[in-house]
Structure 1
Amino acid sequence: MNKIVSSSLLVLSLVFFNSCKEGNASEKVKKENIITAKKRDVEITKGSAEIQFDITEYDFGTVNEGEIVEAKFMVTNSGKTDLVISNVQASCGCTVPVWPRTPIKPGDSAEVLANFNTAGKPNRQAKTLTLITNTARGREVLKLKGSVTPRVYTDDEIRKRIKPLKKN
């Protein structure tokens, strides 16, 4: 039994070490395939949609906690094919994006909106929107920033929020 295990380990070791002798994978790639791929990539990006923004960072200044800030970003398709914004992801649940669901034709513009709810978000704030597009980069990032003045509660509001302890 011991000889069978030893023989099996020896065979597996030989197979393993021989498979590593053939060199790395990058040596096996043909140079003409690399050149063809680069040419293809250049052609793809020539005809792709291109995106331009009027601004990429919206500073909402100073607002009071509880206000809803609406940021508007104007998006222009400066490419040769339709611009598609397939998704917009906000950095947190307090920011809700609204974007055009239909393709933006070359030369046309549309708005991307972001509604930021400042409730429970006092002090300095910085939020991002990540646009997923059919541009060469594929992702674009827009930013919102500003300061939220904390809400000041009256004594009566504080008393209403504090629940009395239950007696056993």
Structure 2
Amino acid sequence: MKKLAAFVILSGIAIMLVNCSGSESKKDSKTGDIKLPVFTLTDSSSFDFGTIQEGEVVEHTFHFKNDGPYPLILNNITSSCGCTTPEWPRDPIAPNTASSIKVRFNSKGKSGPQVKTVTVYANTDPAYSELRLRGIVNAAPKPEAAK
């Protein structure tokens, strides 16, 4: 009787292990390829806007491509400062399709060296990528006091 009980328990464990190993994972067991979209920038992840006058607005478009086999979804994009505003596609980006993210930096109230980071969250591995705007903002001239 003990042998039958042990056989049933071991058979149950073996069946569970087989079922667990058959579940879908992030990797394709045959090729080892990751089964996720791939966010690939087609230009630099950093843009130097040079020197501007305080109050000017700088815009830059970062171009990218989905180099993965599945649709790329940009879940969210955040910026390091309220002065930096990203615009991005809300619909999934098909495999081998190019798209872009427009970033706008408003230098009002900012002066000196600036580095603004934009974080792109997507269904990729790693789960986020960073874009940067950098440059120098010259302070606006102070208005002369009335005499």
Corresponding residue of 1:127: 116
8 Å contact 2:27–2:35 — kept in the other structure?
A: no
Q: SS at 1:46's partner residue? A: coil
Is 1:147 the counterpart of 2:132? The answer is no
Corresponding residue of 1:73: 62
Rounded to whole Å, the distance in 1 between the matches of 2:69 and 2:112 is 43
If asked which structure has higher relative contact order (CA below 8 Å, sep 6+), I would say 2
How many pairs were matched up? Answer: 124
TM-score (normalizing by structure 1): 0.68
Corresponding residue of 2:101: 112
TM-score (normalizing by structure 2): 0.77
1:58-116 Cα offsets, whole Å, 9 max, x none, are: 11001110000101100110110111101100001000110000111111111101110
Shift of 1:43: 3.0
TM-align CA RMSD: 2.3
1:110-153 Cα offsets, whole Å, 9 max, x none, are: 11011100001101000000011001211111111000011002
Greater fraction of residues in helix: 1
Corresponding residue of 1:98: 87
Identity over aligned pairs, percent? 34
Corresponding residue of 1:56: 45
Q: Which runs of 5+ in 1 are unaligned?
A: 1-31, 160-168
User: Moved runs in structure 1, 4+ residues, more than 6 A?
Assistant: none
